[in-house]
Amino acid sequence: MITPRAMYGSASHGKTAFFAGGIKMDENGNPVVVQNVEKYNADTKTWTMINGMHKARKFSSGCFLRGKFYVLGGRDDNDKHLTCGESYDETTNSWELIPDMLKDMTVIADSQSPPLIAVVDDNLYMLETSLNELRVYDINTNIWKKLGVVPVSANAAFGWGIAFKSMGDRLLVIGTSHSWHRKTVVHSCRPSPDVEEQHWEEIKHWCVGAELPQFIHNFCVMFA
């Protein structure tokens, strides 16, 4: 990176990836929360600095939604949780601040994970970790609609250790079950913003011959 850092919000679209905010070290070795945003071009293997966000933020989440790069939540330089989001329009190289984008989300601990988000069919979904609920975002009203309970205990570690991703036209979630033996399970659904309770299907032969760990450190979806 042009500005090396960690704990940023990121997302890729085609052969371009965006990295927003995060923590860098200053000349004295002290951590600093930044507004910096860079994009990486996989064809030219180059980094480009673009306009910074309105807010400095760390532990945020990023996604592409309807042609724009969105950054949600995180914490500011005072370690305060941010309820605002921002969207970036590449055609104008400008950011739009979205106040109160996460105003209805419950922060259950200072150690709360970054927002667990995924985009399917141009709809933004979030796993509300404190209530183990799936929600969908209405981009026109800035409101999240409830879509029922997910089949994992996302609140067990304040949202950490859960995999929540889009996979084509489906949502995929991996985490510990609600049952007493705390088994790690894999479920998917084809989400619909118009259905109050989603139909989750367990994928039982995901990891043949081995048990999945109870805490997922990193997870990605790749198509070949």
Q: How far apart are CA 36 and CA 53, in angstroms?
A: 7
**Contact between 149 and 205 (Cβ < 8 Å):** no
**Contact between 178 and 153 (Cβ < 8 Å):** yes
- Residue 104 has a pLDDT of 83
- Residue 84, classed as helix, strand or coil, is coil
**Contact between 11 and 30 (Cβ < 8 Å):** no
CA 30 to chain centre: 26
- Residue 105 has a pLDDT of 83
- Residue 213 has a pLDDT of 80
pTM of structure: 0.92
Q: How far apart are CA 192 and CA 61, in angstroms?
A: 22
- Residue 219 has a pLDDT of 84
Name the strand (E) or helix (H) holding 49. Answer: strand 46-50
- Residue 97 has a pLDDT of 98
- Residue 220 has a pLDDT of 85
User: Helix, strand, coil proportions of the chain in percent (round to 5)?
Assistant: 0, 40, 55
**Contact between 105 and 61 (Cβ < 8 Å):** no
Q: Under 8 Å CB-to-CB from 65, ≥6 apart: which residues? A: 87, 119, 122, 124, 139
Torsion over CA: 58, 24, 8, 6 (sign)? negative
pLDDT in tens, the chain (224 residues): 999 999 999 999 999 999 999 999 999 999 999 999 999 999 999 999 999 999 999 999 999 999 999 999 999 999 999 999 999 999 999 999 999 999 988 776 678 899 999 999 999 999 999 899 999 999 999 999 999 999 999 888 888 999 999 999 999 999 988 776 678 889 999 999 999 999 999 988 666 556 778 888 888 887 76
Q: Where are the domains of the chain?
A: 1-103, 109-224
Place of tokens 């404190």: 130
